[in-house]
């Protein structure tokens, strides 16, 4: 009986080596730059434990309704952020508006975490989309498939190898999260809440990476060449980012007119961001959302694997 | 050793195989020949488990092909145009494959050294493959196929793109492998190569097996011996052809560039009868005896569609 584990590790390390050599360096540089700026921007805001109506919020005839209308809260958060940022930019001094911690946490989710998740998704989808399609295009895939490695095992090994290159990025994200929560929020939120926030960001990073890596593997299986597979992955990601951006701004319109508010609110409820925000009000919703992402990821991963196992391969 | 029954394979609207049968005996070298598009490469790919047949049964060493992992441990494949990881060296490519086959580091190191020596790539073993010639790449592919000491070798056009010196080396290696008891299936366009290497052949056409037997049996069926006759008067050639066709000992008569070619089975008894009959019909200027080639056999069974 052939020692399968040696083969599995060989494929994983081969794919990982390729991923590190060709695909990740630019992504990591860009990610570090943008993530650091966004983290610093969030850090520079001044947060306080004030509750209820704040001086700033009195400019708007809307009250925070924590846990009741998160979308309305979100619109207020955004406006508060823009006002404080404008104030800072026009006066050249740090903003003298003390934002509620809730706003800080939301901004933290909107800026650095969304940037981190987008970067992770992009890296994962690119690495995985190229893994099988690249070998099919260069016609070297047959080497792997005439070896005694079961096809399903070869597929999963390539997946693990490709996704492995995203692990340092997840670690960086987590390190940033630990820092910003400790530096900006910990004095004002409970220890359990801070720990939950860190865990949620870590889980979201891992699950989002898994989801996009699985989509990448699926595309890699059904596409004949590397460029098409990576481009398709890129398009899926772009569409997701556009939709997320639209979802981010939809809540702002929800306060504009009463008649459309309920419709928009229903639409925005399916937004990943909305759900992430709601997760701040209750961990159960977050867990459900993560489970849905995990399920979709598994569906893509195993669909790709089933196709790959039954696929004809040329040499 | 290899048994394939009623294999069919469809690619989109094209039927590549339409009920192909194949039987390869243990320890033999069998040729798989046929015109372009006959289904030779598809057959090799199915046996390699790279392509999945739509229907039919295949067993290798009595193990169904569906049990891919067990079967793949027994086979080595050399494709027509071997594609390798160009940035790697031959040695690192072999090392990676040794891991796929679960070989220990020590075992792999000694096996790789032996193989690099056998395929004469020791000097270039640590250079990137992108600088290799076609012949060198083919030798790497052969080393990869032999790495795990498989019982069966599937060679798809092993001689294509090779210069005469490398071809000779390849032939010798293949014959050595036969001596070692390996079972080898060779798909090749070069019928002279197949004739030199193989004990038996399977001729396929339009995705079906036309005939399968030892070359000797097929030669006997086609006519083991060919006699080429040159006549003084070309106008008598048609009459001579019909006269000779009527003889029981003659299996085939044809004309080629002023020669009448007569195929018979037995040189001792049949040649004198042919010469006597021909001499009675017309003046014979020249007569020579040649052996029936695989090309003759192929043309007889594949109907002259050799691509």
Per residue in B135-155, pLDDT (tens digit) is 899 999 999 999 999 999 999
Nearest-angstrom CA–CA distance, B302 and B217: 16
B276 and B200 fall within a common domain: no
Give the least confident one: A99-103, A236-240, A258-262, B230-234. A258-262
How distant is the Cα of A150 from the closest Cα of chain B, in angstroms?
Answer: 6
B133 and B167 fall within a common domain: yes
Indicate the residue among B183, B202, B218 that finishes a domain: B218
Give the nearest chain B residue to A137 (CA atoms). Answer: B83
> Quick check: A315 contacting B, CB < 8 Å?
yes
B205 and B245 fall within a common domain: no
Chain A residues whose CB is inside 8 A of the B47 CB are none
Mark yes or no for CB contact B102/A2 under 8 Å. Answer: yes
Q: What pLDDT is attached to residue A261?
A: 47
Indicate the residue among B164, B194, B218 that finishes a domain: B218
B122 located within any domain: yes
Q: What pLDDT is attached to residue A255?
A: 44
Distances (CA, A) of B233 to A43, B211, B259, B274: 107, 38, 11, 18
Question: Minimal CA–CA distance to B170: which of B201, B132, B199, B139?
Answer: B139
Chain B residues whose CB is inside 8 A of the A9 CB are 99
Nearest-angstrom CA–CA distance, B199 and B231: 36
| Length in residues, chain B | 307
Q: Residue A197 in contact with residue A286, Cβ under 8 Å?
A: no
Grade residue A236 by pLDDT with cuts at 50, 70 and 90: very high
B300 located within any domain: no
Nearest-angstrom CA–CA distance, A197 and A109: 10
Mark yes or no for CB contact A315/B79 under 8 Å. Answer: yes
Grade residue B301 by pLDDT with cuts at 50, 70 and 90: confident
Please determine, for residue A220, whether its predicted confidence score (pLDDT) is greater than 90: yes
> Quick check: A313 contacting B, CB < 8 Å?
yes
pLDDT tens digits along B160-185: 878 888 888 888 889 999 999 999 99
CA atoms within 13 A on the CB side of B121: 32
Mark yes or no for CB contact B50/A148 under 8 Å. Answer: no
Mark yes or no for CB contact B144/A147 under 8 Å. Answer: no
B114 located within any domain: yes
Better-scored residue on pLDDT, B152 or B189:
B152
Three-class secondary structure assignment of chain B: CEEEEEEEEEECCEEEEEEEEEEECCCCEEEEECCCCCCHHHHHHHHCCCCCCCEEEEEECCEECCCHHHHHCCEEEECCCCCCCCCCEHHHHHHHHHHHCCCCHHHHHHHHHHHHHHCCCCCCCCCEHHHCCHHHHHHHHHHHHHCCCCCEEEEECCCCCCCHHHHHHHHHHHHHHHHCCCEEEEECCCHHHHHHHCCEEEEEECCEEEEEEEHHHHHHHHCCEEEEEEECCHHHHHHHHHHHHCCCCEEEEEEECCEEEEEECCHHHHHHHHHHHHHHHCCEEEEEEEECCHHHHHHHHHCCCCC
> Quick check: B191 contacting A, CB < 8 Å?
no
CATH, residue B244: 3.30.70.920
B268 and B204 fall within a common domain: no
B100 and B148 fall within a common domain: yes
Question: Minimal CA–CA distance to B218: which of B204, B201, B197?
Answer: B201
B42 and B133 fall within a common domain: yes
B172 located within any domain: yes
> Quick check: A152 contacting B, CB < 8 Å?
no
pLDDT tens digits along B207-260: 999 989 998 888 877 766 888 899 888 888 888 888 899 998 888 898 888 889
Arithmetic mean of pLDDT, A217-237: 93
B214 and B232 fall within a common domain: no
B64 and B23 fall within a common domain: yes
B305 located within any domain: no
Grade residue A256 by pLDDT with cuts at 50, 70 and 90: very low
> Quick check: A14 contacting B, CB < 8 Å?
yes
Distances (CA, A) of A69 to A18, A37, A105, A268, B223: 48, 30, 16, 12, 94
Q: Residue B91 in contact with residue B109, Cβ under 8 Å?
A: no
Strand order through the sheet with B250-256: B250-256, B259-264, B225-231, B284-291
Residue-number span of the structural domain to which B273 is assigned: 224-291
Better-scored residue on pLDDT, A147 or A81:
A147
Q: What pLDDT is attached to residue B89?
A: 95
Mark yes or no for CB contact B100/A3 under 8 Å. Answer: no
Reading the block at residue B53, the tokens are 């047949």
Arithmetic mean of pLDDT, B111-122: 92
pLDDT tens digits along A93-148: 655 556 667 667 767 777 788 888 888 999 999 999 999 999 999 999 998 999 98
B38 and B174 fall within a common domain: yes
Strand order through the sheet with B183-187: B75-78, B152-156, B183-187, B29-33, B200-205, B208-214
Nearest-angstrom CA–CA distance, A21 and A25: 8
At residue A314, what are phi and psi to the nearest 5 degrees? -90, 160
Q: What pLDDT is attached to residue B127?
A: 95
B7 located within any domain: yes
How distant is the Cα of B101 from the closest Cα of chain A, in angstroms?
Answer: 6
Could you tell me how far CA A63 lies from the centroid of its own chain?
30
CA atoms within 13 A on the CB side of B105: 1
With a threshold of 0.85, tell me whether the complex ipTM lies above it. no
B302 located within any domain: no
User: Which of helix, strand or coil describes residue A186?
Assistant: coil
B306 located within any domain: no
Mark yes or no for CB contact B83/A310 under 8 Å. Answer: no
CA atoms within 13 A on the CB side of A14: 25
Reading the block at residue A308, the tokens are 């790959």
> Quick check: B294 contacting A, CB < 8 Å?
no
Please determine, for residue B28, whether its predicted confidence score (pLDDT) is greater than 90: yes
Indicate the residue among B218, B244, B263 that finishes a domain: B218
Say which of A3, A139, A312 has its CB closest to residue B52.
Answer: A312
Give the least confident one: A84-98, A110-124, B16-30. A84-98
Q: What pLDDT is attached to residue B233?
A: 82
CATH, residue B11: 3.40.50.300
Residues 226-285 of B with CB under 8 A from A: none
B194 and B242 fall within a common domain: no
pLDDT tens digits along A12-71: 999 998 888 876 888 888 888 888 888 887 777 667 655 444 444 444 545 555 445 555
Arithmetic mean of pLDDT, B194-205: 91
Mark yes or no for CB contact B83/A140 under 8 Å. Answer: yes
B24 and B53 fall within a common domain: yes
B205 and B118 fall within a common domain: yes
Q: What pLDDT is attached to residue B9?
A: 95
Say which of B50, B97, B101 has its CB closest to residue A313.
Answer: B50
The chain-wide mean pLDDT, for chain B, equals 89
How distant is the Cα of B48 from the closest Cα of chain A, in angstroms?
Answer: 6
Among B40, B66, B102, which would you mutate to test the A interface (most chain A Cβ atoms within 10 Å of its Cβ)? B102
Grade residue A259 by pLDDT with cuts at 50, 70 and 90: very low
Domain total for chain B? 2
Residues sharing a CB contact under 8 Å with residue A192, sequence separation 6 or more, in sequence order? none
Q: What pLDDT is attached to residue B75?
A: 94
How distant is the Cα of B61 from the closest Cα of chain A, in angstroms?
Answer: 16
């Amino acid at each position: 009986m052939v020692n399968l584990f040696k083969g599995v590790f060989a494929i994983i390390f081969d794919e990982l080596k390729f991923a590190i050599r060709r695909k990740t360096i630019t992504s990591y540089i860009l990610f570090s730059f943008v993530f650091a700026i966004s983290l610093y921007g969030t850090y520079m805001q001044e947060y306080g434990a004030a509750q209820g109506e704040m001086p700033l919020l009195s400019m708007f005839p809307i009250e925070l309704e924590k846990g009741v209308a998160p979308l309305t809260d979100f619109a207020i958060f955004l406006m508060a952020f823009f006002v404080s940022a404008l104030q800072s930019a026009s006066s050249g001094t740090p903003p003298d508006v003390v934002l509620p911690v809730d706003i800080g946490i939301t901004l933290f989710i909107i800026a650095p975490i969304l940037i981190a998740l987008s970067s992770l998704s992009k890296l994962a989808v690119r690495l995985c989309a190229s893994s099988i399609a690249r070998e099919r295009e260069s016609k070297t895939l047959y080497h792997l498939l005439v070896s005694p490695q079961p096809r399903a095992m070869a597929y999963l090994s390539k997946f693990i190898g490709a996704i492995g290159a995203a692990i340092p990025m997840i670690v960086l994200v987590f390190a940033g999260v630990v820092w910003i929560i400790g530096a900006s929020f910990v004095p004002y939120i409970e220890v359990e809440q801070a720990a939950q926030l860190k865990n949620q960001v870590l889980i979201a990073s891992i699950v989002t990476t898994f989801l996009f890596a699985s989509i990448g593997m699926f595309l890699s299986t059904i596409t004949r060449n590397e460029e098409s597979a990576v481009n398709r992955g890129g398009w899926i990601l772009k569409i997701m980012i556009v939709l997320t951006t639209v979802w981010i701004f939809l809540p702002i319109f929800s306060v504009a007119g009463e008649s459309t508010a309920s419709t928009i609110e229903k639409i925005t409820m399916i937004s990943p961001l909305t759900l992430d925000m709601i997760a701040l009000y209750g961990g159960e919703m977050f867990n459900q959302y993560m489970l849905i992402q995990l399920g979709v990821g598994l569906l893509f991963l195993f669909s790709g694997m089933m196709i790959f196992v039954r696929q004809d391969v040329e040499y | 050793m290899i048994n394939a029954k009623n294999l069919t394979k469809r690619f989109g609207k094209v039927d590549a195989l339409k009920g192909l049968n194949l039987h390869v005996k243990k320890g033999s070298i069998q040729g798989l020949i046929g015109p372009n598009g006959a289904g030779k490469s598809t057959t090799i790919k199915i046996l390699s488990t790279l392509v999945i047949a739509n229907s039919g049964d295949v067993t290798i060493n009595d193990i169904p092909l569906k049990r891919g992992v067990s079967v793949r441990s027994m086979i080595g494949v050399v494709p027509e145009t071997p594609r390798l990881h160009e940035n790697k060296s031959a040695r690192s490519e072999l090392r990676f494959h040794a891991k796929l086959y679960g070989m220990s580091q020590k075992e792999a190191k000694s096996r790789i050294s032996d193989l690099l020596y056998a395929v004469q790539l020791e000097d270039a073993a640590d250079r990137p493959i992108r600088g290799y010639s076609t012949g060198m790449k083919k030798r790497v592919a052969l080393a990869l196929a032999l790495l795990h000491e498989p019982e069966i070798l599937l060679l798809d056009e092993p001689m294509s793109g090779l210069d005469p010196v490398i071809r000779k080396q390849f032939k010798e290696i293949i014959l050595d492998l036969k001596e070692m008891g390996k079972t080898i299936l060779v798909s090749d366009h070069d019928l002279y190569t197949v004739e030199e290497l193989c004990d038996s052949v399977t001729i396929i056409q339009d995705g079906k097996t036309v005939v399968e037997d030892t070359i000797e049996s097929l030669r006997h069926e086609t006519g083991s011996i060919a006699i080429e006759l040159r006549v003084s008067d070309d106008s008598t050639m048609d009459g001579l052809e019909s006269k000779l066709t009527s003889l029981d000992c003659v299996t085939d008569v044809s004309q080629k560039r002023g020669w009448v070619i007569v195929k018979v089975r037995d040189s001792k008894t049949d040649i004198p009868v042919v010469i006597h009959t021909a001499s009675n019909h017309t003046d014979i200027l020249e007569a020579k005896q040649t052996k029936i080639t695989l090309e003759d056999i192929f043309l007889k069974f594949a109907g002259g569609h050799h691509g």
